[in-house]
Each structure stands twice: as structure tokens, then as C-alpha cells.
Structure 1
Amino acid sequence: MSFRALVLTQGADRKVSGAVETLPPDRLPAGSVTVEVEYSTLNYKDGLVLTTGGGLVKTWPHVGGIDLAGTVEASEDPAFRPGDKVVLNGWRVGELHWGGYATKARVKGDWLVKLPASISTRRAMAIGTAGYTSMLCVMALEKHGIRPEAGEILVTGAAGGVGSVAVAILAKLGFAVAAATGRPQEADYLKGLGAASVIERKEIAEAPDRPLLTERFAGVVDTVSGVMLARALAQVKYGGAAAVCGLAGGPAFPGSILPFILRGVTMYGIDSVMLPKAPREEAWRRLGSDLPLDKLDSTVSEVGLGDLMALAPRILKGEVRGRVVVDVAR
């Protein structure tokens, strides 16, 4: 049967344009599992693909969407059968492989995770790569041995997708969360997610340019990088850790080795794209139990495929609060 998709093309000026089209099933790419997609979402990386391609897309026309959730329609993979509720994050889907901005997707079975019964397909996309990455960050801090009694956890970019979910998870687990944001008007929103305190971004970014500052944070979930990460690391307590997963502030940071060799700080790099299946499944299991889904709902706005081209520049500018769920049938 035919399917709807937001089909992207790139012009000579590298600018991307998109239109919702109806396509025949033979346009689907190769794969062992066909999924009837119900929801997708909008992430920072999606914003890059929808505006310029971001150097991520190699072949045009293209269907973006790095996340998708839906129901298995047909499967050649014995691990899945029709009717299974599944979620997909990463694996260069939405970049090198057609993604979730369509009512159907065909993918490798190894890329899919069965959803916990407690998470609907819509809520799975309210979580999306952002929330799944947040859970990986929390798991890294836990593995390091950080417990609530150790002290505050700093979350940078807290009003964004990754940050919002990280705040909610950490608060439910009993941590005192210091939520740093460049949008102080979001203070009530962040406190509603469970933040114990809200810090204006400049308080961290404009801290004195010294390799070591007063010890304050037991751990950090960093979605920004750049100066924010450097100043945050300078305030991590002895033996603490930072889980880093984003680069909204750029890939480089003007840091020092001193927090690592004088305070024993550890920095964990969090990759959500090529992570093996077992830790993916564990992260989704934990999301089903440790993410307060009622609070998650308050972070969500819903759009259709036709709304995405206008929203993409806004997410790149940091103007989108929380999570954007895409109802691909709209």
C-alpha cells in the first residue's frame, strides 16, 4: 500500500526543501522489518537535516526522522512479528537510511527495540532519542557510583529535550537537580519537572576562567559543551563525573586537565547512535520504570509532517521547549 512521507530535496545552494508526498511501497529502502509508523519526533539533528542536510545526508531525495515508533507490519526477522510495538533510535536512520517522517519505514531488525508495555508509541516519541540519551547519561552517573546523598547534579541546557527528561528522571530518583538554562522564563516549567534550583546559564558560562573553582556538583549531565562544560567541570566535586552528550555550544571546549588529575573527575562520552542492543534495551526498560510519564506529558507539543520545515530552524536556535512529537498521519 502507498504511504505518506515528508520528502526532502537539496538545491544547488544546499538549502533543503520538503513536501509531503504519497509514495508507492517500492520506494521503501531495503530492510528485514516493515513498520507502520505512528509517531516520530524532532531532535536537534533532525533540524540540521531539514535545513541544510548538516553534512549528514548523502543521497537525495531523502526522508528524515532519526526516531520512530509504531507497529510491526511484516518481518523477516524472527525476533519480531506483526503487531509488536517497537521503537527505533539512531543507527544513522534519518541520515543515511530513510527515517521516521513517513507512515511506513523498512529497517533492519537489529535496529529495533520492543517497547515496554508501560510506554505507548506516542510516549515513546515524547521520550525519543533525547530521553533515551538522558537515561544513558543517568545510567553512566549511577555506574560511576554517584548517589543522591553525594550532592547536586547539574543539568545544562535543561529546558531542551535531553535536559528536560534528565531533570525529570534525576528528580524521581531522589537527586537534587540544578537546572541551568539560558531561558530564565522557563523556571516554573523546570521546577515542575522536579528541579531543586534553576540557574541562569550565564552563572555557569561566565564563572571565572580558572581550571578549578569551588567544588559544588557531584555530577553533571551536559548537553551544551563549549564554555559551559569547561566551567561546569571546574566545579565538580572530588571523584565526581560528567556525562556529556551534546554540542549545542560547539564541539570544542576551552577546558583544562586539572579537574581530572587533581580532583579525580571522570568524563563519560554518551553515544546513542551506534550503541549495542543490550544497553539500548536496558535504557528503555529503565525509562519505563524511572521516568515520571505524567511529567513527561507536560513537556510535549504535537505537530504533523507539514509543520516540520518551519519548526526546524527554531530547534537549531534553541527556541523549542521540551519535546516535539510528530503525528505522521497528520
Structure 2
Amino acid sequence: MTEPPCIHGRLSVAPMMEWTTPPARYFLRLLAPNVRLYTEMVPAVALWHGAAERFLPFHPAEHPVAVQFGGSDPQELAHAARLAEQWGYDEVNLNVGCPSDRVQSGRFGACLMLEPARVADCVAAMQAATRLPVTVKTRIGVDDHDSEAFLDAFVEAVAAAGCRSFIVHARKAWLSGLSPKENREIPPLDYLRVHRLKARRPDLEVAINGGIADAVTLREQLQWVDGAMIGREAFSNPYVLAQWDCMLFGGELPGRRAVVTAYLPYVEARRREGVPMSQLVKVLMGLFNGLPGARAWRRTLTEGSQQPGAGPDVIERALKCVAHGEAA
């Protein structure tokens, strides 16, 4: 497709709790300079009670970076959106897709698909509070509410409030009976549902999320929608982000070892701030998957990062386990 990049980017990494942390985002940016990154979901109520310093800091190198909020109170979400602009984010995203019990108990996430008017009120309040684009990440349905008419009605209500950019996980969510992990795997993917939504609403930006794990699938999806969001593949095999970034945007493919070396000063700085080494190496685990020494790389990182006083030298030792060569 030849359309200009959309708000949420032609390629992005999904917000994932305990995964899209600041260290992970910094490292993924080294791999992929054009991919849009998302924070973990930030509870709007936490910011309402003054926790911005805990949840909102990020490194300038992460741009373009979006912050995802969870909540259902328009006033709290407006406050969160205002803070997002003050802190320098590029986009504000509302979570209407997470099915976990904890999220539901706070009346946000996928259960909000059943309350399109409330989502519309939240979006309108956020847009009134910030100049940043406000986007929504959602599912194709919840429980037995998974008809195309249901999805169309939800999108129509939220779009009428001013949202023009939707990221759609191409699975419905079961609000009970399945764990969050099972909700990412058991409900079947229905890419065609998302394609038809885009065809019916060409005025909206629609990105697709769910199950994209290879370049063939990525290319195919981008023939029908405006963007693609990558989830777990970005961490189980992070180097694909570099490859796909080059495929979509051009540029030179970085070497794995060079990216790791570029990450070391950041690791040193964050260790001085007290960030555990285990958090700093988590994003690195799958970097050499499929290459000689990958198992020793992972083992060295895992064991070394748990030692008292562990620092960047753990990563340097792990690099010695991986064979030099063009692929590395």
C-alpha cells in the first residue's frame, strides 16, 4: 500500500504488561527505528492519585512512543491524557481489549465494548484535554456479542466522539472462563472481520493485531488495513522487528551484536538507578534464537542477572557464547 503512515504507525509493538517496560522499549528502538512503541497499560486512576512519576517516565530515544491508559472514568482519563502530553508522548491509547479479571473489576478493558456510549464519553473527554491523537485498542467482540453489527455499532459510537484510529485484535474476548493467555490463543483469529471493517469505514484508520509472526502474514495484512501491531513475537524473536522495519521503511539492517553493544550504556545508567539486572536483560533473551550459542546466551543472561551486584558485564559474558558471523 502507498498510503502515508497512520497515527499509530504502519508497524507497532503492542502494549503488554510486564513486557513493554522502559528498558524493553529502549532496546526495541535500537532494533527498529521506525516502529511505534507502546507502554504497558497505565491505570488512569493511579495518575489521578499522583503516581505520574512512577508510570510515565520514558527515554527520549523511545520516540515515537504511545502511552496506553486503562480506565472508564472520563474525568480521570482526561487528566491522564493531559499528563501524557505534558510528559511528551506521541499518542494516547485507550485499552478496550484486555480481558483479565483484575481489569474487569476496575471496569475497563474488553468489558467496555459492552458500553460504547461510555467509551465515547471517555474518548471525547480525552480529546478535549490534549492535542495528542487519541486512539482505541479493542477486540472484534466479547463473549456472545461478536457479530459484525456489534463491532460496527461500537466503532460507530466511538468514531462519532472523534476517534479516527482503531487497533483491532482480531479475536473476540471471553470475559470469564479463560485466562488472559488463553484469550490470546483460544478464540480463533478472524482477520477478514477486521478487513471488512476497514472496507466499510475507509474514513477511519484501522490497524490489525493478533497472531502476526512472519513477514508473509505481515505483508498480506497491510494490503487490507492501515497498520499492523505485533505482540508476543516482538519478544520471543525480537530481531524480526529489525527485519520488518527494513522491509517496510528501508534502511540498513543492524547486526545483533552491534545493537547489544549500543544497549550497554543504557544498562549501566539504569543499574545505577537501581533497576534490577533481570529486568534489563528480559528483552534480550530471544535475540539470537535459531543461531549457534542461543541457549548458552539465554542461560548466561538468566543466571548472571540473578547474582548479587550483577551489571552490564553479564551481557558481555553472554555475547561470548554466541558465534561471530554475518547473522549475528
Q: Do Structure 1 and Structure 2 share a fold, with TM-score over 0.5?
A: no
Structure with greater strand percent: 1
Greater per-residue helix proportion: 2
| TM-score, normalization by structure 1 | 0.28
